[in-house]
Structure 1
Amino acid sequence: MLNSLKLAPLLPIAMLVASNIFMTFAWYGHLKFKSSPLLIAVIGSWAIAFFEYCLAVPANRMGSAYYSTAQLKTIQEVVTLLVFAGFSIFWLKESLTINHLIGFALIALGASFIFRS
C-alpha cells in the first residue's frame, strides 16, 4: 500500500523525526528539572532513549532501501536541528538568535550537497 502511494520513502523520515523527539528529551529534557538528582536524570534519560532506538533502528533499516547511509545520516542531522530548535523554544523557553539561525542554515546548506548527484 505505501509503495503504491509513493509514501514509503517518507516513512523512515517520519520515524527519524519521532525518534529525534525522544532523543532530544532524553538528552536535554532534564535541564528543566536541575534540582532532581543526577542519577534520576540519567536513568530517566536512558529509559526515554530506549524508545528513540526502537524508532531509529527500523527507520534506518527501512530507509536504506531508498537512501544511502550518508543521506540517512544527513536527514538525521537536519531533523536534529529542526527538533532541537522547536524544543529549545517550547520546552526550555530559550530563544533562538539570528546567529543560531544562520548557523543552522549553513549546516542545512552543507547537508544539501549530500543529495546532489
Structure 2
Amino acid sequence: MTGDAARLWPIVLLIGSNIFMTFAWYGHLKHKGAALWAVILVSWLIALPEYLLAVPANRIGSNVYSAAQLKGMQEIITLSVFAVFSITYLGQRITIDHAIGFALIAAGAFFLFRA
C-alpha cells in the first residue's frame, strides 16, 4: 500500500480501534451496578476488535510514519474519541481545564510531525 491510502488507512483504523477501546475501558462506568467479573469479561470481548484494528493500523502506518508519529497520532485520536464519548455516552462535560490539557497534548503531537 502506497501514497494517500498508506497515510489514510492507519488513521481510519486507529479511529475505529479507539472507539472500541474507549467503550472497553470506560463504557462500564455507566453500569456501576454490574458485577466486576462481568465488566472485565465484557471489556475484554470489546477490546479484541480494538486489537484487530490497532495492530494493522500500526503495521501499515509504519511504512509512512515513524513510531513516535504513530504514538502521537494515537494519543490525539484517543483524546478526540474520549471527548465525544464522555459527552454523548457518559453525559459528562468537558471543562476548560480538560480542553487546555488536551490542547497541550495536541501541541506535543505537532512537534512529532514537524520534522
- TM-score normalised by length of structure 1: 0.94
Please tell me whether residue 80 in structure 1 is matched to residue 96 in structure 2. Answer: no
**Identity across matched positions, percent:** 59
Q: Show structure 1 runs of 5+ residues with no match.
A: none
Moved over 6 A (4+): none
Letter in 2 for 1:87: F
RMSD: 1.1
Partner of 1:98: 96
Q: Deviations over 1:91-113 (max 9, x none)?
A: 00000111110110011011111
Q: 1:1-117 alignment to 2 at 5 Å?
A: 3=2, 6-117=4-115
* Partner Cα distance (1:8, 1:109) in 2: 24
SS at match of 1:92: coil
SS at match of 1:48: helix
* Partner Cα distance (2:78, 2:14) in 1: 9
How far apart are residue 116 of structure 1 and its match?
1.4
Q: Deviations over 1:14-37 (max 9, x none)?
A: 100000000000000000000010
Contact 2:20-2:47 within 8 A present in 1 as well: yes
Q: How many residues align?
A: 115
- TM-score normalised by length of structure 2: 0.96
